[in-house]
Structure 1
Amino acid sequence: MKNFFLFFSTALFVWACSTVPDPASKVYYITETTTTRQPSGICAFRYKITNSYSRLDNQSQQNAVRAAFDLWQKGNPNLLFLQKQDGLTTEIAIRFAEPSEIPQGTQKAPIGLVRGNIPTISALKVDNNNYTILLDASFPWDTHAITRALSFHIGKFLGLEISPENGSMMNPVYLKETIRLSDADSVKINALYSLPCTSGCNNFLPLSLPVNDIITKSIRLDKQGKIAISASGRMVIGFWLGWSTPAGLENGLFSVPIGDYSLDRSINHAALIYRINNETKWRYCGTACEFSTDGVSQCIDVTLAINDNKPSDNDGAYDVTVNYKP
């Protein structure tokens, strides 16, 4: 009998030790944050990565972040996530932060007989409906961990509650499990966003349009590189100035200066002008111009205009085409 109890005690001790999470098991708590955003009629969201993690190359980080958004977008095609360059206003920002910015709780290890505290590796900061996901910069992130942590936070942003279900993306415990939506995750996200997304970035290149006033188009990029704008045709510019081409007019009749009637005095009056995203300064285009994409943004706002502060006096329009440069 003594031998039986000795064997039983030894087996129990070995079993207990084998179930206590050790450092190699990678058991972490994703967040202490309980804030869940209330869903709205909006279904297109912009995000940006504001800094980088020193132990991973930039492309790997980009891919890991995109995989987290793709998880939800594939789970519900009504959703649309678009990466924007740093400096632009977005609904979601992602930042690697100092450990002091990550609140630490008293969460217990979910497995093993000894339920020790497990560290928290990320947090969510909410400011005026703008969400910043903070990832602990001291944590040894790999692409799997980045995708898993962000997937949880994105779910919270979309309106899903924390789930105790093993395998759910809304379970805040990170065990390096396979990254996929559970059946419950899929049901909930499709119930929250049941209508097709009609807002957001829904123009694709090539794009052709008449321009006789200020017009902005949100263009979805399906590749990076240079974008070319070309313009042709002519317009009647007011009663006294007559015809103008997209190149614009340097002066009025009898060489009278006409800069006061322009949106930008430094550019020919009535010329085709443009600006990108939230730029405040106009760029000259004329009959042809081009610009480079930043290699990150999946959506850009291109604003086209006639350099005239009173376009209602004009007649006609320039024929403008926006397309990728061959």
Structure 2
Amino acid sequence: MPKLFEPLALRGVTLKNRIVVSPMCQYSAVDGFANDWHLVHLGSRAVGGAGLIIQEATAVSPEGRITPEDLGIWQDEHIPMLQRINAFITAQGSVPGVQLAHAGRKASTFSPWTGDGAVPTDQGGWLPVGPGDDAFAPTYPTPQALDAAGIEKVIADFRAAAQRSLTAGFQVIELHAAHGYLLHEFLSPLSNQRTDEYGGPFENRVRLLLEVVAVTREVWPEELPLLVRLSVTDWTEGGWNADESTQLAAILKTRGVDLIDCSTGGNVPTAPIPVGPGYQVQFAERIREEVGILTGAVGLITTPAEAEAILANGQADVVLLAREFLREPYFPLFAAQDLGVEVQWPAQYERAKPRAVAAAGSR
């Protein structure tokens, strides 16, 4: 059995394979509400056989959205449609997960196909918040530095969102501490110039994330897994780096976190990132080896052979695919064919299933 199709137990949840749909913003919500687009988008990947499907960055507050079109989970009214989506995902044998997020200083921006930079308040924009008042880039809005009350609100918003996630039927939560959004902004000395207990040395910069983890675990059942996505490095001198990520991962392991989703970048607009196939796998491998915690590898993983090699070589425990899942919603079904694995197809599609599984590569 290829590693890619071995089940993985995460606390009381078992993934049927190690293929994970990475959270991908769809910029298709109104006032944070999921709709039929999200049902079909996420449901198609469940029909396609993914083990875990992580819903896009889902804002814990209105001001935590990246764009006005982001999904949200800051009010109970968001729950019913999410329940419908998650029920469908579960019925296909996949596990529904959600990425809880706060965009911080990268909030109140246009969705990719509607504009660039800050959304004016008269067009639905708002004042974002961050560790300080430095904008991410010249075209981005200038944030308001969070005071003590603002930080307490952020923590409370994550706690409430975790509680709603449980009611909505999610079985996995991933906390988004990557890509230059709020929790990452506090981690990195490039974006965190505070002089209080949330800024300065490592133990202060990680404080907010650890407090969010703690309140999430207060309401998230013991039998359900908690993931954290980190940008392991800022790819910039003087920024957040792999040494600090490894140190943080060791702490997170003791605080009830089950897997580190290892991404990179997003906090420095001009960072020299060496993008290429598998360019981030090294970080998942290092944290897995040095900390002894499960890790996920993500970033330009596009073929079953690449995904299988990462797992077979012990570099990660799951692989997360994003753009490849946009191109091919049924990637797991074809990956099974390519790797010579017999998997169950949906009954409605059974008549189209290739019969010569051993003839790898023929679709």
TM-score (norm 1): 0.19
Report the structure number with the largest CA radius of gyration.
Answer: 1
TM-score (norm 2): 0.17
User: Which protein is richer in strand relative to its size?
Assistant: 1
Of structures 1 and 2, the one scoring higher in RCO (CA 8 A, sep 6+) is 1
